[in-house]
Amino acid sequence: MQGEVNWRRIYYHKRNFSSPHIRLRWWTLITISISVLVCILDMTVMNVALPTIQKQLGATSSQLLWMVNVYTMLSGSLMITSGGFGDRIGRGKC
């Protein structure tokens, strides 16, 4: 068929792992994966600490819920702000 694309040939042709762009993509993937893992662990630590926070501060359940929500929103907004700041500065200017 004339319109058929040989995907196997395209895949193996473009698979050059020695290219600096491919290595940069892998480092980017690793960095993002570690960042996501740290964020998940951070929220887990916050939730594990809730009973201690409740005992020491005498907080109610609704106050604990507010603490978790505010902590999550601040973490997310700081990540977005930091990403925008990093985009403005750029890699070469650091």
50 and 29 Cβ atoms separated by less than 8 Å = no
Cα–chain center distance at 4:
38
Amino acid identity of 56? Q
Q: What is the pLDDT of residue 79?
A: 84
Distances (CA, A) of 76 to 2, 23, 70, 80: 50, 28, 10, 6
Q: Convert the pLDDT of each residue in 11-61 to its tens digit.
A: 555 555 566 677 788 888 898 899 889 888 988 998 999 999 999 999 999
